[in-house]
Amino acid sequence: MEDKFMYFPYIRGRQYELLALSELATNNLLSNCIIPIVEPVKLSPTLVKMMEEYIKIKQPISIIRNPAVGTFMSDWHDAKEQSREARYKQRFAAQYEDSVIIKSLIMQKNAKILLERWNNSNVNKEDLLVINVDRDYLSLYEEEFGTVIPRYVLMPDESVFRRKVRRNKVLLDDKFEKRDRNADYQDVEDEFFSDDHLYYKEDGFDGFSDYSVVGNEYLEAGFAPYAVAIHIVYFAPDMTLRVRHFVSNSNEDITNPALKFYEAVSKLVKWYNADPHPVEITEGLQTFLQHYRQGSYPGLGTVKKLSLMHHIELMGKYLSKE
């Protein structure tokens, strides 16, 4: 694989995740060792705007055309002429043609039709990124990619996949230990996150991928939490990645999320201010510290956005040094 990319953060394209990717791009914080993968969950202005940013700076990004979660596919089919959705659809389709956008698909029921359509539009299979995580579709993968190898193939570290996928393999694993409630992170303040960045080559992969500090589970609707939790990834002395959880104290009911945020971010600031600092500063982390100093509350979506930005920027700094 002549490409230098190694880390492929897998992002479900909800609004704040897309805003995180946009800000990383516009502030020039993305290492050229990173290709974000976006599984769009709806056809939205935030999605097309984010794609625009990546095209502008010529930063490769993978956009899945047959997402398995959310309403993107139905939004696409239901877009009425002259509607806003039709305009987003038009912009998305035009941007999807740009070489910066890596055409990507999930091996699932509708993959065959999509591959046929791409084939008829002269899209090369060698240029695709394929998410290959369902063993029921391994035979379809072999049928479609028997002689042609996609540019990247994301797959779990399981022998049945290793036997079928020989080259351009990217290890995909959910590293985030999701708890039922935010308050539950108080029981595990600090835990192991990942060492894939240390061993992926040894294990025969060309890159590695995870769902960052959001996790693979997809929930359609958010709800007001009893507790606010901030998740910050950092490198331990042995260079494994760990994640630290900073949780609010006033978790009896859902009132006053601003106070809950302040309680959580105060713990983050106290931890960060140790000498030496336990983690390198990033734009996301800097913004958390700023909210603490100003006593401002950015809203829960932004908390997730900043944690995600921090993780992706931190990985970029590490990989660029390697």
Q: What is the pLDDT of residues 239-264, one digit of tens each?
A: 999 999 999 999 999 999 999 999 99
The confidence score (pLDDT) of residue 239 equals: 97
- Rounded to an integer, the average pLDDT of 107-123 is 95
Q: Cα 10 from chain centroid?
A: 3
| Strand ranges, E, within 240-296 | 241-247
- Burial code (b: 16+ CB inside 10 Å, e: under 16) for 128-149 equals bbbbbbbeebbebbeebbeeeb
pLDDT at residue 3 is higher than 70: no
The confidence score (pLDDT) of residue 223 equals: 74
The confidence score (pLDDT) of residue 322 equals: 76
H helices within 40-124, ranges in order?
A: 45-57, 72-78, 84-96, 111-120
The confidence score (pLDDT) of residue 315 equals: 97
The confidence score (pLDDT) of residue 224 equals: 81
The confidence score (pLDDT) of residue 218 equals: 82
Handedness of CA 130, 75, 68, 302 (dihedral sign): positive
pLDDT at residue 285 is higher than 90: yes
The confidence score (pLDDT) of residue 98 equals: 96
Q: What percent of the chain has pLDDT over 70?
A: 98
| Model-wide pTM > 0.85 | yes
The confidence score (pLDDT) of residue 1 equals: 38
Q: What is the SS3 assignment for 77?
A: helix
Please check whether residue 76 is in contact with residue 89, taking contact to mean a CB–CB distance below 8 angstroms.
Answer: yes
DSSP element (H, E) containing 106: strand 101-106
pLDDT at residue 116 is higher than 90: yes
Candidates 238, 248, 260, 249; CA nearest to 193 is 238
pLDDT at residue 2 is higher than 50: no
The confidence score (pLDDT) of residue 85 equals: 86
- Rounded to an integer, the average pLDDT of 216-229 is 82
- Rounded to an integer, the average pLDDT of 146-158 is 95
**pLDDT tens-digit map of 171-199:** 999 999 999 899 999 999 999 999 999 99
Q: What percent of the chain has pLDDT over 90?
A: 89
Please check whether residue 112 is in contact with residue 120, taking contact to mean a CB–CB distance below 8 angstroms.
Answer: no
Q: Report which residue type is found at 56.
A: K
**pLDDT tens-digit map of 23-60:** 999 999 999 999 999 999 999 999 999 999 999 999 99
Mean of the per-residue pLDDT values of the chain: 94
3-state SS of the chain: helix, strand, coil percent to 5?
A: 40, 15, 40
